[in-house]
Structure 1
Amino acid sequence: MKVFSLALLTLLLAALWIGCQGISFRSAYSKCCYKEMFIRQKIPAFLIRSYQKTPSHCSRKAMQVELLKGKKFCVDPEEGWFQQYQQQQESPSRST
């Protein structure tokens, strides 16, 4: 009985330690976008801080867009306004 109690206590302490470390068993999937996370309306370019493609293991192809205030949204990379934004960001700036 003492061995069982010790094993149970060790397991409980390990679970608490993992929780305190912020480690998640789903951490690999935390950067995926799900249906309810997508935003359909155009985001003004001046509000966008950064964007990145979701990992290949995600079920939906998407771009995660971070706004200046830190909020993150998922955008369909096929959206016309987003493709236009990407082209503007990737094209070299021209001075006249």
Structure 2
Amino acid sequence: MKVFSLTLLTLLLVALWTRSQGMSFRSHYGTCCYKEMFIQKKIPAFLIKSFQETPSHCSRKAVRVEMLKGKKFCVDPQKEWFQQYRQQQESTSTST
């Protein structure tokens, strides 16, 4: 009976550890953008709440744009409209 209890406890601990590792893995890589996540259309500036560059470990260089209503999209940082938006934001923040 003791062997069974010890085995059961070990399996439970392994399952919990595996689950916690999987959650941190997902949250760590949840900030990356993949091909199907990119939006090709120009996003109007007044709809953008914030933006953040993806981390260096991501396979694609991208910017995650958060809309006013909370939706998030991935944008190619080399798109002309986004570069203009970024310059506008930087000039606004330095003048205030």
**Same-fold call, TM > 0.5?**
yes
Partner SS, residue 25 of structure 2: coil
Higher helix share: 2
Q: 2:25 matched to 1:25?
A: yes
Runs of 5+ in structure 2 lacking a partner? none
C-alpha distance in 1, partners of 2:89/2:12? Answer: 54
Aligned-residue CA RMSD (Å): 2.5
Superposed counterparts of 1:12-91, under 5 Å: 12=15, 14=16, 18=20, 23-91=23-91
Provide the identity percentage: 64
For residues 28 and 12 of structure 2, the distance between their equivalents in structure 1, rounded to whole angstroms, comes to 28
Write the deviation string for residues 13-52 of structure 1: whole angstroms up to 9, x where unpaired.
x25984xxxx332221110000000001000000000001
Structure 1 regions of 5+ residues with no counterpart?
A: none
Structure 2 length as normaliser, TM-score?
A: 0.80
Alignment partner for residue 10 of structure 2, among 4, 7, 19?
A: 7
